[in-house]
């Protein structure tokens, strides 16, 4: 039987907020009859109003759900409610599964066997190569046009767009047509810079210069080192299939979840989870996307800071290697130890310079620091043992929780480092991870 999950882990599986709320309502022992769990199965008979009865079975390890209710939500509130009940320890251990649980498991096994037996369509590699070549051609033409546009901006002067927040929109739209969505997204962000207050010309010019650098790098794709070429392709917006990444060699380790951050204001809400390998000491980033921002049912979005998972991760191509696809998981997440922090900011600066040299476009890099949060005007700072300090980015977090846990003494905090400062997501209170 896998270890019982936490309430948050269960609710992370809910397809939407309404389901999560409904699940909480049916997670009371009184509405379940004959609930039990054994050998990886949890089951129970839901007793609703009147004669309403549903048989619910869940296999948390997969996870897989079965319920005789007519709900089109998946998983339904009964499955979630049953899991909540199980997570709170209110589902008793049984000697053997109920009949309907056994029946469900058999049916599932048969379906799985049938799916596996189906022959996979042969991939037409030649056609794929033709498509890729066509795409490369379109991007190349598009980026060449963009270079002309960038030069025009510099020639005619940035002051012309002062105070506007959409000037790069037409160029961004053109990049969408040219199948360079990464460049399009960057340009959309840059559109807002002229309205971002003092110092905007330098920020905008630096942004243009990075796009220019990317466009120049793209013209030399074939001569760049393969990992750098992959990074360039990634920023331009060529996608890499998950299957291809999973075919890469795996890195197996005890991965500690150090930071989970939701980016709600992105075009597509994303959840960034940073893991650190216990043996390898490597960083890994798991990205999950959900247009609704609910992240229900996605195991890649169900990580909890402070837990550790024995798993095989496959790195996406690029340098420095960071983003991963999660392959085989060995066992359930367990409580992990606090990560080893950097005690001096100078070590972080060295690492940052190293990774920027590998990837000059890199917006942020994960880090674990030991230091003291200092609430000062106008912005908070984070000071290390030598008294050196960096700005603390407090957007989207409650820095007072950090201060409360610290109590003016050094704490271990994990998050993202960028040229603007340290943005923590997790702080350790002794052995316990506290999300900010």
Partner 1 sequence: MTTYDELVAAATVGIAQRPLSVTRLPQPAGEHSTVFDADPAMCLLDAVALLDAAQRAGRLFATPIPRPAPAPSDGVPELPPLASLIVADLLRTGPAELLADLLSAAAHAGFRAPPALLPTLLSAAATNSALRDGVAATLGERGRWLAAHQPEWLRVVDSGVVPVADDAWETGRFAERRSWLAQLRRRDPDAARGLLAEGWMRETGEDRAELITVLADRLSAADESFLEAALDDRMAEVRRRAARLLQLLPGSAYQARARVRAAEVLHRERRGVRRRLVVTLPDELDESARRDGLHVRPHTPRTGVKTWLLMQIVAAAPLELWTEILGAAPRDIVALPIADGFAPDVHAAWRRAAVRQRNAEWARALLDMSEHGPSDAELAAVLPHTERQARVVALLQRSAEAVRLPAEVQSCPPPWAPQLAEAVLAYLERELRGGRSVPTGALLATVARALPTDHAAPLCRLAEEAPLTTGWLRALRRTADIIELRRRFHEELQ
Cis peptide leading into residue 63 (ω within 30°): yes
Q: Under the criterion CB under 8 A, does residue 383 sit at the interface with partner 1?
A: yes
**Toward partner 1, which CB reaches closer, 40 or 410?**
410
CB of 189 to partner 1, least distance (A): 15
Q: Binding partner 1 by CB under 8 A: which of 405, 412, 424, 425?
A: 405
25/49 Cα distance (integer angstroms): 13
Q: Give the residue with the Cβ less far from partner 1, 130 or 216.
A: 216
Q: At what angle do helices 181-191 and 226-236 cross, to 10 degrees?
A: 60
Q: In angstroms, what CA-CA distances link 126 with 34, 122, 222, 242?
A: 57, 12, 20, 20
CA distances to 14, 90, 91, 349 from 84, in Å: 11, 9, 9, 44
The correct pick among 5, 274, 352, 365 for binding partner 1 (CB under 8 A) is 352
d(CA 375, CA 382): 9
Which CB sits closer to partner 1, 248 or 347? 347
Name the β-bridge partners of 58: 42, 65
Report the Cα 128 to chain-centroid distance in Å. Answer: 29
CA distances from 218 to 141, 226, 273 (A): 11, 12, 29
Least distance from C-beta 209 to partner 1, angstroms? Answer: 4
Contact (Cβ atoms closer than 8 angstroms) between residue 387 and residue 362: no
Would you count residue 372 as binding partner 1 (CB under 8 A)?
Answer: yes
**Alpha carbons 409 and 189: distance in angstroms, whole number:** 38
Please identify, using beta-carbon distances, which residue of 106 and 346 lies nearer to partner 1.
Answer: 346
Determine the interface stretch with partner 1 among 251-259, 293-301, 303-311, 395-403 (rule: CB under 8 A): 395-403
For residues 120 to 159, the per-residue mask of contacts with partner 1, x marking binding by CB under 8 A and - elsewhere, is: ---------------------------x--xxxxxxxxxx
What is the footprint of partner 1 within residues 206-265 (CB under 8 A)? Answer: 206, 208-210, 212-213, 216
Is residue 4 near partner 1 by the rule CB under 8 A? no
What is the gyration radius of the CA atoms in the chain, in angstroms?
25
Q: One symbol per residue from 63 to 92: x for binding partner 1 (CB under 8 A), - otherwise; what is it?
A: ------------------------------
- Examine residue 319 and tell whether it contacts partner 1 (CB under 8 A): no
Binding segment for partner 1 (CB under 8 A), chosen from 137-145, 199-207, 229-237, 316-324, is: 199-207
Burial class (CB in 10 A: 0-12, 13-18, 19+), 160: exposed
Residues that bind partner 1 (CB under 8 A): 28, 30, 49-50, 147, 150-160, 201-202, 205-206, 208-210, 212-213, 216, 345-346, 349, 352-353, 356-357, 360, 372, 374-376, 381, 383, 386-391, 398, 400-401, 403-405, 407-409, 419, 421, 427, 429, 432, 434
């Amino acid at each position: 039987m896998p270890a019982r999950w936490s309430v948050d882990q269960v609710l992370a599986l809910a397809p939407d907020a309404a389901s999560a709320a409904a699940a909480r309502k049916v997670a009371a022992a009184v509405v379940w009859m004959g609930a039990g769990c054994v050998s990886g199965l949890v089951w129970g008979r839901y007793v609703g109003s009147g004669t309403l009865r549903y048989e619910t079975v869940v296999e948390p390890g997969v996870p897989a759900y079965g319920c005789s209710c007519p709900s089109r939500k998946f998983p339904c509130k009964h499955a979630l409610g049953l899991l909540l009940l199980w997570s709170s320890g209110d589902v008793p251990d049984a000697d053997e599964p109920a009949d309907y649980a056994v029946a469900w498991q058999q049916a599932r096994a048969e379906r799985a066997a049938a799916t596996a037996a189906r022959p996979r369509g042969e991939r037409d590699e030649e056609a794929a190569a033709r498509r890729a070549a066509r795409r490369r051609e379109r991007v190349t033409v598009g980026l060449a046009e963009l270079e002309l546009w960038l030069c025009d901006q510099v020639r005619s002067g940035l002051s012309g767009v002062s105070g506007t927040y959409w000037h790069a929109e037409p160029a961004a739209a053109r990049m969408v047509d040219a199948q360079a969505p990464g460049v399009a997204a960057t340009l959309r962000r840059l559109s807002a810079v002229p309205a971002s207050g003092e110092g905007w010309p330098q920020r905008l010019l630096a942004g243009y210069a990075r796009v220019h650098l990317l466009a120049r790098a793209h013209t030399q794709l074939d001569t760049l080192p393969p990992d750098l070429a992959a990074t360039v392709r990634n920023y331009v917006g060529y996608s890499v299939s998950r299957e291809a990444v999973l075919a890469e060699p795996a890195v197996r380790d005890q991965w500690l979840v150090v930071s989970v951050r939701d980016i709600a204001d992105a075009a597509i809400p994303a959840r960034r989870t940073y893991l650190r390998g216990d043996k390898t000491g490597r960083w890994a980033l798991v990205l999950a996307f959900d247009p609704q921002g609910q992240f229900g049912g996605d195991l890649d979005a169900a990580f909890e800071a402070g837990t550790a998972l024995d798993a095989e991760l496959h790195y996406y191509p690029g340098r420095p290697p960071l983003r991963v696809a999660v392959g085989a998981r060995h066992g359930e997440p367990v409580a992990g130890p606090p990560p080893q922090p950097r005690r001096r900011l100078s070590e972080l600066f060295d690492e940052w310079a190293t990774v920027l040299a590998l990837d000059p476009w890199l917006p942020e890099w994960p880090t674990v620091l030991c230091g003291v949060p200092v609430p000062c005007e106008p912005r908070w700072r984070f000071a290390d043992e030598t008294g050196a300090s960096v700005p603390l980015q407090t957007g989207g977090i409650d820095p007072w929780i950090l201060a409360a846990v610290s109590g003016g003494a050094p704490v271990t905090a994990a998050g993202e480092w960028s040229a603007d400062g340290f943005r923590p997501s997790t702080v350790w209170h002794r052995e316990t991870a506290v999300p900010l």
